[in-house]
Chain A
Amino acid sequence: MTDLTQKTAHVPPAVTLGNTLPWILSIAFLAIAPQIFSSNSAITIMNQMGITIVFALAYNMLLGQGGMLSFGHAVYMGVGGFACVHIMNMETFFSYLPLPFLPIFGGVVGMLLAVIVGSFSTRRAGTVFAMISLGVGELIAACSVIIVVFFGGEEGISGDRTYGMPFFGIEFLQHIEVYYLTAFWLLLSAFLMFMFSRTPVGRMANAVRDNPERAEFLGYSSRWVRFYSFVASGFFCGIAGGLFAINYEILTEENLNLATSGGILLMTFLGGAGFFFGPVIGAVVFILLQTVLGLQTDLWALYVGALFLATVMFFPGGFAGLLMMHVTPIRLGKMHVLYVPYLKTFIPGILAVLGICSVIEIVFHARHAPLGDEDMTIFWTTFNSHSIVAWIVAIAIAVIGVWLTKKAAPGLVEAWHEANTPDKGASA
């Protein structure tokens, strides 16, 4: 506590190791990731992740930073993306436009849409805001089949990114080139969004989230603070839309609909809306589940849904919250207290989850596989889904797993308490 008086006059320097290291590591990781995960499908997945991270971070400017729950945020990304495809199709203009600059147009269009919608939707937060966002989202999604000129009806509209002006000789024919373009925009957008959260209006967004009335009595109009956050969010959603247009060269109704809006809410919450980096984790985990798990089982969405429910009910801080919970034990130097209880709880816990999943998969296979196809494979084991043995084994694993987890849980709670209590004699 003695160093606090010195801290009083101390202003942190703009650049420190602590605040630049995460960015340096991110840049390094994004630069070498294609070397590690070099397959075509891996790069496709990483592109998808990059775009989704930008979208999720932009979404969290509202949800986490500003306390605004939007149910129709896909439209800002979607409309920005549609605009970019239209620019791709404007042959003469596009042939003078280097492709890396295209997302800016998406951003501007997303921002303009946010200015229009935000002018009436940000008057209130809470339910009113959520309902307006839902209504506007549905309205624009419905427009996709009405305003065919812009949205292309059911088949959407497509373009060709390679018609753009070559950028230092790069024509973006290959996925890897698109990857680096996406990675560049991801870093730039993430950095700008982080900086936004450090500006006066970004700080006040937190204040308005916590207590709009108090903010009013400090000279700030809650509505204007929300409006600025909303517009900034729209801009970065539009950037994500532009990246989507570049990556997939097609936009459809799917980019506007409620499922996409719901998905971004789900992954932002899963990752942890309370922390800036939360949506990054959420987007990565979600895309991994969608692509990797999606290849393994038709039921991936069920598992994602269960995971989401578990997050909402048991760890509302999301993955980021779970990670940050460990800051106190680390500071106290007591992480070691947790290792054994963690192993004791999580190994049977994982076993239980796998057992339950096996039961579900076996039921699903037994009920839905084509007639005569009784062999199924999970966890590298092939067996007959109609045999009683398989059922008994799966149920037994699930039951034993749950039982062992329950048995170990009190020990974990105790260890957790212990890890968060400073040692006697040590200063608080």
Chain B
Amino acid sequence: MNAMTKTGVAALKLDDLRKNFGKSEIIRGIDLEIGDGERHAVIGPNGAGKSTLFNLITGRFPPTSGKVYLHGQDLAGKAPYEINRMGLSRSFQITNIFPKMTVFENVRCSLLWSEGYRYSFWNIVNRAQHLTEEADRILEQINLTERRELPAGVLSYAEQRALEIGITMAGGADVIMLDEPTAGMSHSETDYIVDLIRKVTEKKTLIMVEHDMGVVFGLADRISVLVYGEIIATGKPEEVRANARVQEAYLGAALEAEH
């Protein structure tokens, strides 16, 4: 995997990132540095551009202007698969798995590239013992061992979300981006996913979009607040909580709803 974990180089750096769709500016100049091993949450009201920001970083959409650097490397013009190979992996707001394949196969497929199998047609994957072991280890971690042979499409919602997190981190990427990992979940399911995220992102850089303030304040080292395509505050949870602008724009209402 990518070994660019030199100190001093941010895991992810955004430099005046902008995105317009037609005349409307969705992302309006974002500067952000996320350090190695940091757990960073992006919060903000609906329509603030959180998912768009994710899509710009991961190469799903090209930015209108500005730069994204992963471990100091410019991501301009890179396709999603190239960005993934450089060590960035993401999950999606809407569950995004391989529904007809078994749970085990889902995980194994997400290991293939990083284990160096590329497009080979001279290896038989069933023979690769380390692949099977590694996939089973991940299944164990995400508590899906018992679902191993089921088609992923028949899993419960929470299980599918867990599987997606498993797929996202399986490739060994050191920067993990999760888009609303607990959306649509009950309290107990949320607790399960939060534990899971904490476990699997250890020593990795995590960037997540999340609506559940309990999750955000429990998990994140730092928080950025995105409102109308701009970051109005970045800092430690308590700093963000105390920030007057944030209170006014967003957080007050959200925190009240929480209690």
Which residues of chain A have C-beta atoms less than 8 A from B129's C-beta? Answer: 11
Q: Is the CB of A201 within 8 A of B98?
A: no
Q: How far is the CA of A318 from the CA of B167 in the complex (A)?
A: 31
- B137: nearest residue on chain A (CB-CB)? A8
Given the known inter-chain contacts A200-B112, A217-B58, please indicate yes or no for A207 contacting B120, CB distance below 8 A: no
* A371 in the interface (beta carbon within 8 A): no
Residue B121 CB within 8 A of the other chain: yes
A243 within 8 A of B: no
Contacts of B122 in A (CB 8 A): 199
Which residues of B from 72 to 113 have beta carbons under 8 Å from A?
A: 79-81, 84-85, 89-90, 92, 96-101, 105, 108-110, 112-113
Query: Which residues of A sit under 8 angstroms from B125, Cβ to Cβ?
Result: 198-200, 203
Q: Determine the interface band of chain A, counting residues with CB < 8 A from chain B.
A: 35 or more
CB distance from B240 to the nearest CB of A (A): 29
Residues in B whose Cβ lies below 8 Å from that of A204: 109, 112, 119
Stretch at the interface among B3-11, B37-45, B140-148, B243-251: B140-148
8 A Cβ contacts from A4-39 to B: 4-5, 7-9, 11-12, 14
Give, as a whole number of angstroms, the nearest-CB distance from A49 to chain B: 27
A221: interface (CB < 8 Å):
yes
* Inter-chain contacts of B168 with A (CB < 8 A): 217
Of A208-216, A326-334, A384-392, which stretch is located at the interface?
A208-216
Question: Is A1 in the interface zone, CB < 8 Å from B?
Answer: yes
Asked if A203 and B108 make an inter-chain contact with CB atoms under 8 angstroms apart, the answer reads yes
Could you say which of A224-232, A245-253, A301-309, A395-403 contacts chain B?
A: A224-232
Chain A residues within an 8 Å CB radius of B60: 213
Q: Which of A30-73 contact B (CB under 8 A)?
A: none
Asked if B259 lies at the interface with its beta carbon under 8 angstroms from chain A, I say no
Are B132 and A203 in touch, CB under 8 angstroms? no
**Given known A-B contacts A11-B126, A203-B125, A221-B79, A210 and B98 have beta carbons under 8 A apart:** yes
Note all chain B residues with C-beta closer than 8 A to A211: 96-99
* The one of B80, B109, B112 that contacts A216, using a Cβ cutoff of 8 Å: B80
Given that A217-B84, A218-B109 are known contacts, is A199 also in contact with B98, CB under 8 Å in the complex? no
Q: A199 and B80: CB pair below 8 A?
A: no
Give the residue name and chain of the B residue nearest to A192 (CB): B121
* Contact of B119 (CB < 8 Å), options: A14, A195, A198, A200: A200
Does B114 count as interface, using CB distance less than 8 angstroms? yes
Inter-chain CA distance A1–B167, complex, in Å, is 23
- For residue A182, CB closer than 8 A to chain B, the reply is no
Q: Provided the pairs A8-B136, A11-B126 are in contact, do residues A207 and B98 lie with their beta carbons within 8 angstroms?
A: yes
Interface size class of B (residues with CB under 8 A): 35 or more
Q: Are A201 and B113 in contact (CB under 8 A)?
A: no
Nearest B residue to A213 via CB reads B96
A180 at the interface (CB under 8 A from B): no
Question: Is residue A300 contacting chain B, with contact meaning CB distance below 8 A?
Answer: no
> Which residues of the partner chain A approach B167 to less than 8 Å between Cβ atoms?
214, 218
Q: A200-B119, A206-B101, A207-B98 are in contact. Are A219 and B85 (CB under 8 A)?
A: yes
What CA separation (Å) do A211 and B164 show in the bound complex? 13
Q: Taking the nearest CB of chain A, how far is it from the CB of B132, in angstroms?
A: 5
Residue B187 CB within 8 A of the other chain? no
Main secondary structure of the interface of A (DSSP, over half): helix
CA distance A14 to B128 in the complex (A): 10
CA distance A9 to B131 in the complex (A): 11
Q: Which of chain A's residues has its CB closest to B140's CB?
A: A8
Give the nearest-CB partner of A228 in chain B. Answer: B119
Which residues of B lie under 8 Å from residue A202 when comparing CB positions? Answer: 121
Residues of B within 8 Å of A209, CB to CB, are 100
For residue B84, which residues in chain A have a CB less than 8 angstroms away from its CB? 216-219
- Interchain CA distance A13-B123 in the complex, whole Å: 15
Nearest Cβ in chain B — how far from A20, in angstroms?
Answer: 14
Minimal beta-carbon separation of A22 from chain B (angstroms): 16
Closest to B132 in A: A11
CB distance from A318 to the nearest CB of B (A): 15
Contact A8 B89 (CB under 8 A): no
Report the bound CA distance from A5 to B123 in whole Å: 26
Determine if A8 and B145 form an interchain contact, defined as CB atoms under 8 angstroms apart: yes
Distance to closest chain A CB from B180 (angstroms): 16
- Measured CB to CB, the closest approach of chain B to A131, in angstroms, equals 24
The answer to whether B98 touches A9 (Cβ under 8 A) is no
Residue ID in chain B nearest A208 by CB atoms = B98
List A contacts of B108 (CB < 8 A): 203
Shortest Cβ distance from residue A378 to the other chain B in the assembled complex, whole angstroms: 43
Residues on B with beta carbons closer than 8 Å to the beta carbon of A8: 133, 136, 140, 145
Measured CA separation A356–B121 after assembly (Å) = 49
List residues of chain B with CB within 8 A of the CB of A416.
Answer: none
Cβ–Cβ contact B136 & A9, under 8 A: yes
B86's closest neighbor in chain A, by CB? Answer: A219
Contacts A8-B140, A198-B125, A199-B125 given; indicate if A214 touches B118 (C-beta within 8 A).
no
Give the residue of A4, A216, A225, A232 whose beta carbon is less than 8 angstroms from that of B145. A4
Which A-chain residue is minimally distant from B152 (CB atoms)? A210
State in angstroms the CA–CA spacing of A368 and B136 once bound together: 66
Q: Does A220 contact B (CB under 8 A)?
A: yes
- Is B80 touching A4 in the complex (CB atoms < 8 A)? no
A214 with B121: in contact, given A1-B146, A198-B126, A219-B84 (CB under 8 Å)?
A: no
Looking at A4, A209, A224, which has the most chain B CB atoms within 10 Å of its CB? A4
**CA–CA, A7 and B145, complex, Å:** 10
Q: B148, A218: Cβ atoms under 8 Å?
A: no
Q: A47 to B112, alpha carbons, bound, how many Å?
A: 39
Contacts of B157 in A (CB 8 A): none
A207 pairs with B121, CB closer than 8 A: no
Which B residue's beta carbon lies closest to that of A209? B100
CB neighbours (8 Å) of B96 from chain A are 211, 213-214
- Provide a sorted-by-A list of 9 A–B residue pairs whose CB atoms are within 8 angstroms: A7-B148, A204-B119, A206-B98, A209-B100, A211-B96, A213-B60, A216-B81, A219-B81, A219-B171
5 closest A-B pairs by CB: A219-B113, A200-B117, A210-B98, A216-B80, A219-B84
Contacts A8-B145, A198-B124, A214-B97 supplied; 10 other A-B pairs, CB < 8 Å:
A11-B126, A14-B124, A199-B122, A199-B124, A204-B112, A206-B109, A211-B99, A216-B79, A217-B168, A219-B112
